[in-house]
Amino acid sequence: MASQPGLQGGSIPLAARMRPRNLDELEGQRHLLKQGSPLRALVDGTEGSVTSVILWGPPGTGKTTIAKAIANASNRHFVELSAVSAGVKDVREVIQKALSTRDLYGQTTVLFLDEIHRFSKAQQDALLPGVENGWVILVAATTENPSFSVITPLLSRSLLLTLEPLSDEDLERVIDRAIGDERGLNSRVAIEPSAKAAIVRLSAGDARRALTALEAASAAAVANSQGADPVIDEILVSQVVDRALLRYDRQGDEHYDVISAFIKSVRGSDPDAALHYLARMIEAGEDPRFIARRIIILAAEDIGLADPQALQIAVSAADAVQFIGMPEGRIPLAEAVVYLSTAPKSNAAYLGVEEALKDVRDGNFGPVPRHLRDAHYPGAGALGHGKGYKYPHDEEIGVVRQDYAPENLIGKSYYLPSNHGAEREIAARLEKLRRITRGE
């Protein structure tokens, strides 16, 4: 953005200039900031509150602000490291200096480690002595689920605080403050309500992104003003911000949350929600083969024989994606998703094989009945193999009364068809078959 009086503090981005100076200026996170909360006690320096903290939340929700607020309490020494560039040596140096600072000045050191999920296990292990002995207060920030990215000993010695994306109202207050505050735009630019709503929508709960969009839009408004008072409108916002921020890490928490919601939406027969989650995965660059595999599993597990076509369509969609690639592959994927979402559902086959597997694993099986054993090799006849077997094709109806299961499982039913879709007919046919084969 070109330098404009009152619009820019040198080369410092608007988001940096408007960083909250204390917790009272922080928007959102009310569940963490109420009086008496562990975070408030830590920031206020309440006796006995000293503990390390892991801040888990999306970008632009206040993790760095909270870390600095903790450091400012009781005149603590603040050291900031980024897991992107720091190594074990850097961590050990900070801990060593923290010991000296404590001994010489009686001052506690707060180590703010951004993106701790990028630290290897060995690097995280280097933090343990300092955290365990209280030599440093570790304030670690991560956008990924700590359960997957932080070692258990470090988790158990830290207070885990979960930050939420900012609400629309929170973001509106962030924007209003930036426009009016002398650190920000100093009321030199106006914004239309529809433009503010557009920035809020495109920011997806991220205050930093909202301020970055506001800064770009204000620069464009000044450039287009031609001497008039600059105004940010919705068209201007759409020009400077071309798409919404999509939070999705193919190796992290969002990956599992979105695919879980996708599966449950298809299973729950909501094609609109299923297409939404499909679009999120596609837009985030998820491997289409992964999506296709999940669709095939869905067809087999959740639709099953209620619609025998579902599995064929799912496999065909996977083949099509493999053949034509992306982005066109999104179309057969979408077709399969809509078909599966609207198909009748049954997990009877899935439950049947799971129950059968449980019996086998529990040792609930017996020898194969002699009349069903292989009788083709020499000596098999002398053992009675195949003796008494009834060949179904010899019967006019193609079915005979005959025991097929091991003796201890005779009469047990694993497959219990539902009354949905094609399984309604299967259930009726199976009832007749069992009456004949089992004499039920």
Amino acid at 31: H
Q: Check residue 10 and give its pLDDT.
A: 53
Q: Which residues of the chain have pLDDT under 50?
A: 1-6, 8-9
Q: Check residue 7 and give its pLDDT.
A: 52
Residues contacting residue 138 through CB under 8 Å, at least 6 positions apart: 52, 53, 111, 113, 127, 130, 131, 158
- Is the separation of the CB atoms in 372 and 404 below 8 Å? yes
Spatial distance between the Cα atoms of 82 and 118, rounded to a whole number of angstroms: 9
* The two three-digit tokens of residue 11, written as one number: 């080369």
Residues contacting residue 296 through CB under 8 Å, at least 6 positions apart: 311, 314, 315, 318
| DSSP bridge partners of 9 | 12
* The two three-digit tokens of residue 12, written as one number: 């410092």
Instruction: DSSP letter for 153, please.
Output: H
Instruction: DSSP letter for 226, please.
Output: T
Instruction: For domain 29-162, give its CATH number from 3.40.50.10490, 3.40.50.300, 3.50.30.40, 3.20.20.150.
Output: 3.40.50.300
Q: Check residue 265 and give its pLDDT.
A: 94
Spatial distance between the Cα atoms of 81 and 65, rounded to a whole number of angstroms: 15
Q: Where in the chain is the domain with CATH 1.20.272.10?
A: 253-342
Q: Check residue 152 and give its pLDDT.
A: 92
- Is the separation of the CB atoms in 343 and 307 below 8 Å? yes
Dmax (CA) for the chain in angstroms is 107
- For 104-132, b/e burial (b = at least 16 CB within 10 A) is eeeebbbbbbbbbbbbeeebbebbeebbe
Spatial distance between the Cα atoms of 425 and 414, rounded to a whole number of angstroms: 18
Q: Check residue 305 and give its pLDDT.
A: 94
Q: Check residue 181 and give its pLDDT.
A: 93
Handedness of CA 410, 411, 412, 418 (dihedral sign): positive
3-state secondary structure (DSSP) of residue 111? strand
How many C-beta neighbours within 10 Å does residue 273 have?
16
Residues contacting residue 179 through CB under 8 Å, at least 6 positions apart: 185, 187, 189, 190, 191, 214
Q: Where in the chain is the domain with CATH 1.10.3710.10?
A: 353-437
Handedness of CA 360, 365, 371, 373 (dihedral sign): positive
Handedness of CA 248, 249, 254, 260 (dihedral sign): positive
CA triple 126-130-135, angle to 5 deg: 160
Q: Where in the chain is the domain with CATH 1.10.8.60?
A: 168-240
- The CATH code of the domain at 253-342 is 1.20.272.10
Query: In Å, how far are 7, 358, 415 from 215, measured between CA atoms?
Result: 9, 61, 62
* The two three-digit tokens of residue 305, written as one number: 């024989």
Handedness of CA 110, 115, 118, 121 (dihedral sign): positive
Instruction: DSSP letter for 118, please.
Output: G
Q: Check residue 120 and give its pLDDT.
A: 87
Homologous superfamily in CATH for domain 353-437: DNA polymerase III clamp loader subunits, C-terminal domain (1.10.3710.10)
3-state secondary structure (DSSP) of residue 109? strand
Q: Where in the chain is the domain with CATH 3.40.50.300?
A: 29-162
Amino acid at 100: S
Long-range CB contact pairs, 318-321, < 8 A, 24+:
318/289, 318/292, 318/293, 321/288, 321/289, 321/292
Residue appearing with tokens 């049947």: 352
Q: Check residue 2 and give its pLDDT.
A: 40
CATH class belonging to 168-240? mainly alpha
